[in-house]
């Protein structure tokens, strides 16, 4: 029996695909409920960007208030990432067991509690615990929110609504850098302010339904039909979509390759290597190093605090602009081609930046050059490799192992982020800023080689086509050449 037969019968898959394609062509407008679903996802993405980005500027104030050294700085910054690893893995299980909406309701409460806990923390240890709690919500949101939107959004608008999450991350980072650069907002207020959008997210979720796909999987087709009628425009073929969901649910129940054990199957392994490899390289490329620590690195090397914080704002804005531009052209240029074009620019930026520090050209006269290198790095990195981090998870894994695959990929991303954040300042103290930048430049070279040899171009390919190629062992770049 062929491996693709493990996933589903060809007849059921073809029928579901034909029905989905017909609905994709069906005109219709977004309902108010569908827009609110996208708004909830956007708020969770903004909280992700804000809660991870606010530490960049706040760390300067926290250092003065608590009189802490590099080890504590790293621990405070990294604690949110440890929580994110735990949250991503835990919420993969919870979203399947208790539902997407219920999981997001829980995460909204945790977002608010974590933000308030950080705001009133009397010492660095309890601040770190508060950020660990926040991290659980961040990791859980990255696992659950895009999936919730994808399962509720009309097929015609699914891609655009899911992308609201990724764009909102950039918005959150920009807001965090602006708040941090103001210098007039105490760090307790800036961190605690995140409870406001968290409570808004909670209020909106209370008005929203559960995912219809989750309801179908749990044999509640009547409620699923009611949900579809609520989030689809009038005269939409909700019965046809409901049948498709039921067919896919049956496929998952009868598949031999499914869940965490399915990730160990030989034919699934190339997807796991690609997804986790891309996730790891998005972090090894240096993006979080720049977002978290650029103000600290610059002030430690003689820059005025106000200049360092203004640079942080410029980097946040560049991140958002690069993401918007990248998302607008990615389907035209192609995922693989765009990534291969952009990575060398990021690598060269880090090599030049490292050379400025190694040669002693890091004083006031070199400020424009240093800022230019940082901005160019952010432009090339955010507009290329960073786009692939979450996108590959939604496209690469077979249907029956997709929740487990995306959870493993999220854990790999957050785990690598955690390792970098815990070691970066120690690394810089040991070998200096310049050699550290060179090391991350070499990571970008390794990322380019990984993409070149392992990442096929999935642009324009249906999920069924990708899964079929994977099952046949045709998952190298050459196998997807047109």
Q: Which range is most confident: 144-158, 198-212, 280-294, 387-401?
A: 198-212
Could you tell me the pLDDT band of residue 5, with boundaries at 50, 70 and 90? very low
* pLDDT at residue 115 tops 90: yes
Q: Using CA atoms, how far apart are residues 243 and 228, in angstroms rounded to an integer?
A: 12
The CA distance from 199 to 205, in Å, is 10
Count of beta carbons in the 10 Å neighbourhood of residue 210:
20
pLDDT at 155 over 80: no
- Residue 240 sits at the vertex; the CA angle it makes with 402 and 94, to the nearest 5 degrees, is 30
Between the alpha carbon of residue 149 and those of residues 33, 34, 144, 152, the distances in Å are 11, 8, 9, 5
CATH 1.20.1250.20 fits 257-482, yes or no: yes
- Sorted by where each begins, the domain ranges of the chain are 257-482
Confidence of residue 340 (pLDDT cuts 50, 70, 90): very high
The residue-averaged pLDDT of 53-58 equals 82
Q: Residue 310: its pLDDT value, please?
A: 82
pLDDT 10s digits, 400-451 = 787 788 888 888 888 898 888 888 888 888 998 889 999 999 999 999 999 9
Query: Would you place residue 12 in the very low, low, confident or very high pLDDT band (cuts 50, 70, 90)?
Result: very low
**How many Å separate Cα 407 from the centre of its chain?**
11
Pick from 227, 234, 46, 44: which is nearest to 153 by CA?
A: 227
**Could you tell me if 103 and 51 are in contact, meaning their C-beta atoms sit under 8 angstroms apart?**
no
Judged against a pLDDT cut of 50, whether residue 7 lies above it is answered with no
Q: Give the pLDDT score at 424.
A: 83
| pLDDT tens per residue across span 273-318 | 999 999 999 999 988 778 767 777 777 767 777 777 788 888 889 9
Section 99-128 average pLDDT = 94
Number of helices followed by number of strands (H, E) in the chain: 23, 0
Q: Which of 166, 416, 175 is nearest to 282 (CA)?
A: 416
- Count of residues making up the chain: 482
pLDDT mean over 471-475:
85
Question: What is the average per-residue pLDDT within 240-263?
Answer: 75
Give yes or no for residue 22 having a pLDDT over 60: no
Contacts 24+ apart (CB under 8 A), 466-469: 466/395, 466/396, 467/4, 467/7, 467/398, 467/399, 468/4
96-97-100 Cα angle (round to 5): 55
The rounded mean pLDDT for the chain is 83
Q: What Cα–Cα distance (Å) separates residue 265 from each residue in 268, 352, 393, 470? A: 5, 43, 17, 11
Q: How far are the Cα atoms of 256, 324, 360 from residue 364, in angstroms, in the given order? A: 63, 32, 11
Region 378-405: mean pLDDT is: 82
Distances (CA, A) of 256 to 8, 245, 264: 10, 19, 12
For residue 401, how many other CB atoms are within 10 A of its CB? 25
Question: Is 378's pLDDT higher than 90?
Answer: yes
Tokens of 384: 């290329």
Closest by CA to 91, choosing from 142, 40, 151, 48, is 142
Residue pair 453/123 in contact (Cβ under 8 Å)? The answer is no
Q: What is the mean pLDDT of residues 203-228?
A: 88
Residue 2 has pLDDT above 50, yes or no: no
Both tokens of 112, joined, read: 């608010």
Predicted structure pTM score: 0.77
Instruction: Map tokens 């709690």 to a residue.
Output: 133
pLDDT of the residue at 237:
77
């Amino acid at each position: 029996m062929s491996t693709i037969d493990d996933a589903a019968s060809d007849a059921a898959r073809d029928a579901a695909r034909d029905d989905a394609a017909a609905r994709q062509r069906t005109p219709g407008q977004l309902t108010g409920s569908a827009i609110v679903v996208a708004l909830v996802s956007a708020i969770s993405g903004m909280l992700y960007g804000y809660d991870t980005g606010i530490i960049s500027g706040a760390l300067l104030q926290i250092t003065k208030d608590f009189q802490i050294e590099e080890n504590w700085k790293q621990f405070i910054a990294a604690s949110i990432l440890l929580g994110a690893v735990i949250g991503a893995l835990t919420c993969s299980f919870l979203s399947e067991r208790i539902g997407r909406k219920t999981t997001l309701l829980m995460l909204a409460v945790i977002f608010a509690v974590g933000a308030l806990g950080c705001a009133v923390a009397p010492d660095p240890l309890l601040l770190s615990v508060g950020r660990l709690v926040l991290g659980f919500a961040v990791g859980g949101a990255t696992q659950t929110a895009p999936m919730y939107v994808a399962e509720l959004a009309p097929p015609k608008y699914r891609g655009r609504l899911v992308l609201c999450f990724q764009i909102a991350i950039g918005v959150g980072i920009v807001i965090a850098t602006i708040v941090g650069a103001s210098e007039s907002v105490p760090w307790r207020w800036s961190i605690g302010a995140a409870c406001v959008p968290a409570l808004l997210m909670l209020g909106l979720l209370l008005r929203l339904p559960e995912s219809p796909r989750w309801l179908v999987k749990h044999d509640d087709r009547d409620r699923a039909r009611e949900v579809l009628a609520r989030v689809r425009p009038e005269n939409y073929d909700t019965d046809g979509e409901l049948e498709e969901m039921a067919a896919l649910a049956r496929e998952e129940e009868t598949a031999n390759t499914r869940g965490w054990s399915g990730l160990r199957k030989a034919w699934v392994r190339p997807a796991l290597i690609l997804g986790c490899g891309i996730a790891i390289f998005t972090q090894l490329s240096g993006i979080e190093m720049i977002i978290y620590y650029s103000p600290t690195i610059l002030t430690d090397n003689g820059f005025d605090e106000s200049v360092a914080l203004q640079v942080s704002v410029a980097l946040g804005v560049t991140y958002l602009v690069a993401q918007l531009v990248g998302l607008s052209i990615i389907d035209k240029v192609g995922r693989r081609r765009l990534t291969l074009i952009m990575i060398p620019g990021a690598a060269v930026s880090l090599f030049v930046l490292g050379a400025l520090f190694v040669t002693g050209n890091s004083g006031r006269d070199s400020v424009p050059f240093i800022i230019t290198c940082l901005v160019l790095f952010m432009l090339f990195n955010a507009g290329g490799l960073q786009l692939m981090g979450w996108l590959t998870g939604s496209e690469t894994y077979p249907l029956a192992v997709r929740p487990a695959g995306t959870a493993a990929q999220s854990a790999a991303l957050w785990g690598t982020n955690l390792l970098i954040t815990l070691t970066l300042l120690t690394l810089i103290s040991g070998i200096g800023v310049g050699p550290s930048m060179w090391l991350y430049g070499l990571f970008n070279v390794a990322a380019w080689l990984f993409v070149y040899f392992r990442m096929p171009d999935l642009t324009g390919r249906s999920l069924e086509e990708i899964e079929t190629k994977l099952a046949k062992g045709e998952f190298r770049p050459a196998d997807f050449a047109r």
